[in-house]
């Protein structure tokens, strides 16, 4: 057990902490308790320590003693100095306050003196200003008196002197007196101007209502008026107004062209000129003579200082109105007017020389018009031809007529066998038999050719340029024939004796037993009728007129004409005429005609045929590009209409909703309505197009629509995963309803000839569609027989037939065997 800390150590540790701030170093002391009994002892120790500190302070104070009396005496002296300064400051302030009234009295006296001096100067300035104002008012009054006496120049001198005096004198600047003086000066100036205008109008009197100009003979007085107007700086405005009045009162009645080319003449005297009150028939030379006489009168009767400025105002305006009202309308459209037009050009040049002789210029527009006569004449012909196209389209009543498409083809002996031994001298009579031969050829071709391409030069989805690549073996000039189905006889008959694959076909005749011996052939004329409107003939007339005029202008009677150089330019107008027709025809045909795009196609095909004949007749190879563009334009119109009808029938057929559950209501009703609406639409289109298109073109167009419908039906039926027996029966019913459209594809009737439908020729997937009906209503054995022994494989792929079998028949040994046979036969 540790020893106990003594009381002495505890008291000493507390004292050390109080005096020195040091903690005890012994842990025993820190941990010990401070007894209450030690408080008195501790206080005694603290008192002793305090006394020791005070003693040390007193000792230190005595050692550092200083002289306090000197410091006290100096402080008292400083206090006395401060008091004296305060007294001095109070005296200074008091003295300053005593001088303020005196200063105010001095300032007041100085202000009174300044005011008196200002008053004196003001009175003197007012007196001087009033004297000057009095003098100016006297001058202005004298000026008014002189104005009343007619002394214009003296009045102007007075006015200028008064204005100069007011500018130089600044005594009354920015005062009411100045404003009053300015008003008086402005009043005098206005009076002078009014008098001068009155004198000007009296000396050069222009009566707009009567169309008359009267010039006073007193030239000296007029010169004085002009000089006064110049001094007043109003002569340019008066002169310009005079020129405008001359234009309105005298020149406009002469230059403005009335109905039927009427104009008003002028009557001249020694000092006046007047426009005749009545209009009369006038020619361009007459108008030029009237204007030249009027200008000569002005030069003779009016001072030069007035008319010299006409070159800047009157002559250019006169030239513009002359060109607009008389010269431009005088440009002839027909060649018969060129002789008179040359006389007009000579008259214009004579008029410009007379203007130059009078000392004027500004007639450059007339000279330029004469120099550009050739270009202006060609532009007039261009505008007129384009306007004729617009008028033809606007005035057309939509009347139609039938025209024939005639083409000569070389037919070989094999072609005649395809035509079923048609008589050599009566091919047209056996047109139906030829169509039957075409049917056989088309069937043998399979699915590689689209009927739209062969008949129209179009593909359903491609452009006309791409379509032309599919027509092999036909020259470019026969494109129009290809578009109507003509010229395809060789292609249609060729599959009858198709060469073996791998053997070259170029350089060989298409028909023949061994392809080495050419067979005799003969010419056959193919004829077919279609309907056009009255528009193509009018367009052709416009084009022919340009070509004939381009040839006629080169004849000797026009050799001296200024416009003969534009003769070749007329050959460029057919291009613009056709471009105008293409730009405006589409909206017109849609607006005025039912099936307007088909009419447009027929019209463009007729146009291209006639244009080719014109091109060959006149050797205009430059028209080849326009003809091709026109043909493509017509094909585009046809393609546009076909696409519209395809969209319609496709949308109608979409109502069947893919023929799913077609044997159950309400789906059965929707399928029946969709199929019936589609069939009715095709029959309606056939009825609408029948009087428009040629028979073959009609069958090709309707065949394309039917092909679209049955292709969609085939795809949707093949997509059905499971076809029950009721569904199969309904599908057969729908397909048979569509098959009734076969009656639309009958060839044109001929006496004593049995007609056979040509549906397979014009409907690409017709045979496939018929096979599909057979599949839907046949047994497995029948389907297998059609594939193995029949021609089902020509229309369907093995996968398509297998999918249909799996949809129609339940899983069984017979189904597996039939599918295996089909796959084996397709590989073998």
Can you spell out the DSSP letters for 529-597? EEEEESHHHHHHHHHHHHHHHHHHTTSGGGTT-TTGGGTGGGGGHHHHHHHHHHHHHHHHHHHHSTTHH
Q: What is the mean pLDDT of residues 279-286?
A: 88
Domain end point (choices 121, 153, 174): 174
* Between 433 and 267, the higher pLDDT residue: 267
Q: What's the whole-number mean pLDDT along residues 357-364?
A: 87
> Once rounded to an integer, what is the mean pLDDT over residues 310-321?
86
- The residue range of the domain holding 115 is 75-174
Note whether residue 404 is domain-resident. Answer: no
Picking from 345, 374, 390, the residue at the C-terminal end of a domain is: 390
- Per DSSP, 197 falls in state H
Alpha carbon distances (Å) from 383 to 542, 571, 729, 795: 12, 14, 67, 58
Where are the strands (E) in 142-223, listed by range? 204-207, 212-215
pLDDT at 351 (0 to 100): 92
- pLDDT attached to residue 489: 36
**Is 70 exceeded by the pLDDT of residue 142?**
yes
Q: Which of 702, 701, 707 is nearest to 635 (CA)?
A: 701
**What is the per-residue pLDDT for 751?**
59
pLDDT class of 378 with cuts at 50, 70, 90: very high
CA–CA dist 29, 17 (Å, integer): 12
- 500 within domain boundaries: no
* pLDDT one-digit tens code per residue, 48-58: 888 888 888 87
Residue 89 has what pLDDT?
Answer: 83
User: Quick one: which of 552, 513, 285, 262 has its CA closest to 412?
Assistant: 513
* Number of independent structural domains in the chain: 3
Q: Is residue 155 in some structural domain?
A: yes
Question: Residue 564 — pLDDT band, cuts 50, 70, 90?
Answer: confident
**Lowest-confidence segment of 16-25, 303-312, 327-336, 692-701 by average pLDDT:** 16-25
CA distance linking residue 531 with residue 799, whole number of Å: 46
The percentage of the chain sitting over the pLDDT mark of 70, rounded to a whole number, equals: 82
Find the DSSP H helices in 396-517.
Answer: 413-418, 431-445, 451-456, 464-468, 479-483, 489-493
Lowest-confidence region among 333-337, 487-491, 528-532: 487-491
pLDDT band at 67 (very low <50, low <70, confident <90, very high): low
Task: Report the distance separating Cα 509 and Cα 495, nearest Å.
Answer: 13
Q: Is residue 98 domain-shared with residue 201, that is, in the same domain?
A: no
Q: Are 487 and 407 in contact (CB under 8 A)?
A: yes
- Which pLDDT belongs to residue 537? 92
Residues 122 and 248 occupy one common structural domain: no
The two structure tokens encoding residue 662: 């077609």
Q: What is the pLDDT of residue 519?
A: 52
3-state secondary structure 360-397: CCCCHHHHHHHHCHHHHHHHHHHHHHHHHHHHHHHHCC
The residues, ordered by sequence, that sit 6+ positions from 63 with a Cβ below 8 Å of its Cβ are: none
CA pair distance 322, 287, nearest whole angstrom: 9
- 404-418, 492-506, 633-647 — most confident range: 633-647
Residue 397 lies in a domain: no
What is the pTM assigned to this prediction? 0.65
88-117 in b/e form (b: 16+ CB < 10 A) is: eeeeeeeeeeeeeeeeeeeeeeeeeeeeee
**Residue 50 shares a structural domain with residue 159:** no
Residue 157 and residue 228 share a domain: no
Q: How far apart are CA 287 and CA 325, in angstroms?
A: 11
Asked if 227 and 316 sit in the same domain, the reply is yes
Dihedral through CA 508, CA 512, CA 514, CA 515, nearest 10?
0
Residue 637, pLDDT above cutoff 90: yes
Check residue 750 and give its pLDDT: 62
Among the candidates 335, 370, 390, a domain finishes at 390
Alpha carbon separation from 343 to 337, 562, 746, 772 (Å, rounded): 10, 11, 68, 82
Instruction: Check residue 449 and give its pLDDT.
Output: 36
Q: What's the residue count for the chain?
A: 828
Output 98 or 369, whichever has higher pLDDT.
Answer: 369
Instruction: Please write the tens of the pLDDT for every residue from 414-455.
Output: 554 434 433 333 323 333 333 333 333 333 333 333 334 333
- Classify 792 in phi/psi space as left (phi over 0), alpha (psi -120 to 50) or beta: alpha
Distance CA 498, CA 95 (A): 148
Q: Are 256 and 138 found together in one domain?
A: no
The enclosing H or E element of 783 equals: helix 780-788
Residue pair 255/318 in contact (Cβ under 8 Å)? The answer is yes
- Output the six-digit token pair for 647: 């969209």
Q: Which among 651, 641, 643, 697 is positioned nearest to 674, based on CA atoms?
A: 651
Average pLDDT (247-276) is 87
Q: Could you tell me if residue 125 is inside a domain?
A: yes
Most confident of 24-33, 171-180, 330-339, 409-418: 330-339
Is residue 516 predicted with pLDDT exceeding 50? no
User: Once rounded to an integer, what is the mean pLDDT over residues 238-252?
Assistant: 88
- How far CA 370 is from CA of 141, 350, 374, 377, 716, in Å, comes to 61, 11, 9, 11, 74
Portion of the chain with pLDDT greater than 90, in percent: 24
Average pLDDT over residues 448-464: 38
Calculate mean pLDDT across residues 85-99. 82
Instruction: Give the up-direction half-sphere exposure of residue 257: CA atoms within 13 A in the CB hemisphere.
Output: 17
Structure tokens at 142: 């004298």
pLDDT value at residue 656: 86
**Does residue 301 lie within any of the structural domains?**
yes
| Geometric angle at alpha carbon 418, from 412 and 419, rounded to 5° | 90
Asked if residue 282 belongs to a domain, the reply is yes
Q: Report the alpha-carbon distance of residue 748 to residue 696 in Å, rounded.
A: 9
CA distance linking residue 400 with residue 606, whole number of Å = 13
Which pLDDT score, from 0 to 100, does residue 756 have?
82
Q: How far apart are CA 247 and CA 244, in angstroms?
A: 5
Q: Is residue 375 part of a domain?
A: yes
Average pLDDT over residues 705-725: 91
Find, among 762, 757, 763, 761, the residue nearest to 742 by Cα.
757
Q: What is the pLDDT of residue 644?
A: 93
Same domain, 122 and 228: no
pLDDT computed for residue 624 by the predictor: 92
Which residue from 367, 251, 245 is spatially nearest to 306, judged by alpha carbons? 245
> Average of pLDDT values for 171-191?
75
768 to 159, 442, 624, 792: CA distances (angstroms): 112, 14, 42, 8
Of 124-133, 601-610, 768-777, give the lowest mean pLDDT range: 124-133
Higher pLDDT, 741 or 152: 741
Q: How much is the pLDDT for 412?
A: 63
Judged against a pLDDT cut of 60, whether residue 478 lies above it is answered with: no
Q: Is the pLDDT of residue 36 over 90?
A: no
Q: What is the pLDDT of residues 790-810, one digit of tens each?
A: 888 888 898 999 999 988 898
Q: Which residue has the higher pLDDT, 204 or 427?
A: 204
Q: How far is CA 112 from CA 99, 109, 116, 117, 167, in A?
A: 21, 5, 6, 9, 35
Contact 544, 388 (CB under 8 A): no
Range 393-400 average pLDDT? 87
Quote the CA–CA distance of 741 and 738 in Å, as a whole number: 6
133 shares its domain with 268: no
748-758 pLDDT, tens digit each: 766 566 778 88
State whether 197 and 110 are in the same domain. no
Q: Are residues 204 and 166 in the same domain?
A: no
Same structural domain for residues 323 and 355?
yes
- CA angle centred on 254, ends 251 and 258, rounded to 5°: 135
For the chain, what is the mean pLDDT? 79
pLDDT number for residue 337: 86
Same domain (yes/no): 219, 286: yes
């Amino acid at each position: 057990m540790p020893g106990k800390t003594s009381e002495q150590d505890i008291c000493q540790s507390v004292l050390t902490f109080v005096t020195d701030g040091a903690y005890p170093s012994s842990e025993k002391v820190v941990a010990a308790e401070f007894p209450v009994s030690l408080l008195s002892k501790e206080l005694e120790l603290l008192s002793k320590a305090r006394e020791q500190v005070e003693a040390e302070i007193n000792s230190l104070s005595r050692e550092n003693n200083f002289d306090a009396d000197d410091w006290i005496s100096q402080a008292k002296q400083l206090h006395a100095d401060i008091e004296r300064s305060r007294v001095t400051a109070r005296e200074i302030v008091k003295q300053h306050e005593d001088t303020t009234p005196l200063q105010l009295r001095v300032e007041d006296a100085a202000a009174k003196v300044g005011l008196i001096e200002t008053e004196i100067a003001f009175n003197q300035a007012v007196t001087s200003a009033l004297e000057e104002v009095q003098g100016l008012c006297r001058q202005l009054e004298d000026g008014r008196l002189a104005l009343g006496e007619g002394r214009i120049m003296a009045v102007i001198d007075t006015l200028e002197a008064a204005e100069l005096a007011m500018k130089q004198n600044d005594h009354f600047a920015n005062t009411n007196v100045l404003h009053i003086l300015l008003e008086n000066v402005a009043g005098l100036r206005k009076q002078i101007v009014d008098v001068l205008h009155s004198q000007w109008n009296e000396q050069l009197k222009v009566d707009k209502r009567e169309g008359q100009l009267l010039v006073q003979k007193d030239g000296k007085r007029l010169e004085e008026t002009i000089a006064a107007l110049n001094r007043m700086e109003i002569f340019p405005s008066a002169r310009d107004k005079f020129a405008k009045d001359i234009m309105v009162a005298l020149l406009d009645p002469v230059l403005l062209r009335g109905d039927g080319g009427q104009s008003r003449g002028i009557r001249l005297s020694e000092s006046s000129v007047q426009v005749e009150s009545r209009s009369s028939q006038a020619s361009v030379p007459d108008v030029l003579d009237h204007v030249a006489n009027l200008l000569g009168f002005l030069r003779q009767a009016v001072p030069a200082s007035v008319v010299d400025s006409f070159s800047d105002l009157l002559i250019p305006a006169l030239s513009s109105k002359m060109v607009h009202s008389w010269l431009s309308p005088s440009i002839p459209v027909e060649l018969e007017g060129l002789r008179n037009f040359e006389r007009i050009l000579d008259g214009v040049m004579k008029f410009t020389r007379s203007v130059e002789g009078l000392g004027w210029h500004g007639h450059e527009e007339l000279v330029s018009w004469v120099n550009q006569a050739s270009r202006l004449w060609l532009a007039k012909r261009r505008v007129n031809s384009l306007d004729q196209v617009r008028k033809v389209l606007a005035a057309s009543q939509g009347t139609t007529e039938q025209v024939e498409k005639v083409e000569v083809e070389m037919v070989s002996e094999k072609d005649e066998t395809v035509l079923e031994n048609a008589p050599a001298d009566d091919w047209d009579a056996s047109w139906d038999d030829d169509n039957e031969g075409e049917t056989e050829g088309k069937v043998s071709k399979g699915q590689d050719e689209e009927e739209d391409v062969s008949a129209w030069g179009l593909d359903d989805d491609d452009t006309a340029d791409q379509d032309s690549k599919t027509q092999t073996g036909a020259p470019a000039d026969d494109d129009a024939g290809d578009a109507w189905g003509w010229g395809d006889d060789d292609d249609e008959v060729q599959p009858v004796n198709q060469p073996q694959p791998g053997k070259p076909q170029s350089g060989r005749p298409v028909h023949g037993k061994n392809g080495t011996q050419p067979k005799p052939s003969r010419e056959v004329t193919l004829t077919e009728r279609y309907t056009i409107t009255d528009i193509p003939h009018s367009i052709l007339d416009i084009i022919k007129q340009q070509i004939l005029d381009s040839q006629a202008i080169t004849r000797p009677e026009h050799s001296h004409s200024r416009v003969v150089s534009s003769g070749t330019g007329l050959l460029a107008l057919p291009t613009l005429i056709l471009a105008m027709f293409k730009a405006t025809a589409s909206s017109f045909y849609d607006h005025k005609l039912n099936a307007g795009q088909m009419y447009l196609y027929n019209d463009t095909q007729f146009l291209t045929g006639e244009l080719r004949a014109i091109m060959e007749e006149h050797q205009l190879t430059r028209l080849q590009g326009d003809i091709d563009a026109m043909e493509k334009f017509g094909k585009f119109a046809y393609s546009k209409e076909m696409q519209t009808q395809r969209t319609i029938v496709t949308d109608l057929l979409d109502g069947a909703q893919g023929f799913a559950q077609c044997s159950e209501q309400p789906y059965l009703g929707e399928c029946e309505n969709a199929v019936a609406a589609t069939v009715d639409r095709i029959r309606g289109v056939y009825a609408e197009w029948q009087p428009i298109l040629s028979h073959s073109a009609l069958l090709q167009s309707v065949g394309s629509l039917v092909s679209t419908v049955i292709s969609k039906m085939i795809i949707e039926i093949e997509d059905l995963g499971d076809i029950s027996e009721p569904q199969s029966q309904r599908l057969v019913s729908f397909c048979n309803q569509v098959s009734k459209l076969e009656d639309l594809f009958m060839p044109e009737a001929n006496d004593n000839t049995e007609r056979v439908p040509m549906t397979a020729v014009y409907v690409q997937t017709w045979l496939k569609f018929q096979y599909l009906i057979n599949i839907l209503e046949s047994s497995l054995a029948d389907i297998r027989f059609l594939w193995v022994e029949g021609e089902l494989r020509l229309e369907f792929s093995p996968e398509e037939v297998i999918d249909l079998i799996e949809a129609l028949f339940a899983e069984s040994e017979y189904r597996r065997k039939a599918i295996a046979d089909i796959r084996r036969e397709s590989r073998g």
